[in-house]
Structure 1
């Protein structure tokens, strides 16, 4: 059913459960897994995405981002096909990335905390996604 799964990660250990979930789906459907992180902190600094599965582009992203992606790729039970890093607004950028790479399932997390009830990135993704979405709860302490 699914052939190319995209996991929207954040730079924290909270993304581990998302990567684990993607590996389960990848095994079940014999699908590829890719990762994406879009830093919205500083707006759109650069318009292109960097693929961190290609060693020559690692110098273009901050060290913290490179370290987390290296960790994500190493811990994933499914091979990571593409590891994209970009800047800007995730709900604006994601539809184009999904079309470009032909992703057919998006996995994202949703925190169960005060701020996520007010401002929810997962809700923005649901409203703009062109593919199926799996929203995985991220509960502190679990």
Structure 2
């Protein structure tokens, strides 16, 4: 099978470069499209008590910051990036919706190999819901 559209899920850290490098290398060999996605936390869902800030404005600012960082990663890629998506909410749902809407056939994501990731892994959530093939890149802690 050849992949035609690869979606790279990034957390906007420097480790995202590892995922981008692998995805671009694969895409260039297959002449595939590459898109990036980052899912922000939905602040309104995190706090339900009284708080004196404008949640919509805070969410908008966070998404704008994420968009800027995603644009820098797109420049770093050195390969044509078809789409850059910034969303918020449930990671699995947002990714699955994007995969379906944009005919994605490979999802690339990272997985930290540390103590906390054994208990709190977003990659495990994606494995259980992804409708397409996944390439999971191990992200090891630097010694």
TM-score, normalised relative to structure 2: 0.82
Q: Please show how residues 1-142 of structure 1 align to structure 2 within 5 Å.
A: 1-40=2-41, 42=43, 62-141=63-142
Distance 2:12 2:121 in 1: 17
SS in 2 for 1:13: coil
Answer whether contact 1:126 1:133 (CA < 8 A) is retained: yes
- How many correspondences in the alignment? 129
RMSD: 2.0
Distance 2:6 2:32 in 1: 7
Instruction: For structure 1, list consecutive stretches of 5 or more residues without a partner in the other structure.
Output: 46-58
Instruction: For structure 2, list consecutive stretches of 5 or more residues without a partner in the other structure.
Output: 47-59
Give the deviation of 1:63 after TM superposition.
4.6
TM-score, normalised relative to structure 1: 0.83
SS in 1 for 2:37: strand
Distance 2:19 2:78 in 1: 12
Q: 1:15 to 1:29 in 2, by over 3 A?
A: same
- Bigger CA radius of gyration: 2
Which deviates further from its counterpart, 35-44 or 71-80?
Answer: 35-44
